[in-house]
Amino acid sequence: MPKTSDTLWDLAVAEVRRRESGGGEGEEEEEGEEAGPGERAVLFLGSKGGGKTTIILRCLDRDEPPKPTLALEYTFGRRARGHNTPKDIAHFWELGGGASLSDLIQIPVTVDNIRTLSVVLVLDLSKPGVLWPTMERLLQAARAQVDRASAELLKVGEARAGQIPSRRGLRTLAKDHPDRELINPFPVPLLIIGSKFDIFQDFDSEKRKVICKTLRFVSHYYGASLIFTSWKSESLMSKTRSSVNHLAFRTERGKTVSTDHNKPLIIPAGMDSLSQIGSPPMTDVGLGSLHAKNPLDLWKKVYEKLFPAESAGDPGDVRDPARDPQYSEAEIDSMRAQKDQELEQYKRNASKSWKALELDSRRH
């Protein structure tokens, strides 16, 4: 508690020391940032055709038809907190192609924005066989790049304790939460969106239950927020928009919580628990015979017993978008083929040259 004799300077010094010591965990400013206007970055990842672009357009109040995202696209939005106040700026990055272009994550995740970065993972609920592989690959790629940027930040000495992403992840759960030592929070704020709920709600009840429990566990394990949505429901899109804007513009977080698998899930980070989620659904072989390395791996094995992993089967599986048949151009493709041949010939010649140099160096 501040003393009545404290000057404004004393209060400012105390606040700076509190932030540098990593104090205030579990408070609303969970990322250890200042409350004033600023710039933030939001990276959208997820299923191909899952609705990422539609969600971004809704968040930015843009009434235009969404177009397929080929690789990596950027846009931004501004929002004022009140009259005559500076506007916050949010940088939106969207990775297309499902999990096939995950290497491009290194472009938007950098040392410059790592302290204000959030990730939104959009998963297509109508394709449960593709859901886990997409989620796993993208989150692994994103986490690896966040770790690299964080290491670089520490190397240049610009990070304080509360700004290091690995420390920020711990703030998703209250200090007295029973699962605090049992989860592995994502290093930056993470929002998981299950899209196409209008199709998902017609699934068999048991299938819905398994998918809901699995996504609840994954979200809780990573300290993420979880919400189901559908572009056909204005109410769900409004709640989704609110969740994204909380990350992008630090607007107030929604208070709604819904864990009923017969309804759209809405669970803010830190509002679920392992005891409420329960154990993985039993399989024909039983949990005891599944050799899992950790709780996340156990849920994966159970989920894939019920929903075997499928290939996304989309053009994104071709690593080079230039080979996508929907963008074929006869003359350009012919020229590209010629250049590819020239490149391969150059590689062969260069390889011979290097081998010759190596042999020559050994002789001497």
- Domain spans in the chain, listed from the N-terminal domain onward: 35-306
Picking from 268, 96, 88, 274, the residue whose alpha carbon sits closest to that of residue 178 is 274
| Adjacent-strand bridge partners of 346 | none
**How do residues 260-302 score in pLDDT, each as one tens digit?**
999 999 999 999 999 999 988 876 556 666 777 888 999 998 9
Tell me the mean pLDDT in the region 310-327: 58
Domain 35-306 in CATH: superfamily?
Answer: P-loop containing nucleotide triphosphate hydrolases (3.40.50.300)
Residue 31, Cβ neighbours under 10 Å: how many? 21
Q: What is the pTM of this model?
A: 0.76
DSSP 305: H
**How do residues 79-111 score in pLDDT, each as one tens digit?**
887 777 788 999 999 999 888 889 999 999 999
Q: What is the CA radius of gyration of the chain?
A: 24
Picking from 184, 127, 248, 220, the residue whose alpha carbon sits closest to that of residue 240 is 248
63 or 46, higher pLDDT: 46
Percent of the chain past pLDDT 70, that is, above it, reads 74
Q: 216 pLDDT band (50/70/90 cuts)? A: very high
- Rounded Cα gap, residues 12 and 36, in angstroms: 15
pLDDT at 311: 67
* Token reading at 337: 């083929």
Q: Is the pLDDT of residue 1 over 80?
A: no
pLDDT at 341: 81
Residue with tokens 């894939």: 304
Q: Is the pLDDT of residue 136 over 90?
A: yes
Residue 21, Cβ neighbours under 10 Å: how many? 11
HSE-up (13 A, CA, CB side) for residue 189: 26
* Token reading at 67: 């177009």
Residue 329, Cβ neighbours under 10 Å: how many? 9
pLDDT at 133: 95
What mean pLDDT value characterizes the chain?
Answer: 81
pLDDT at 106: 93
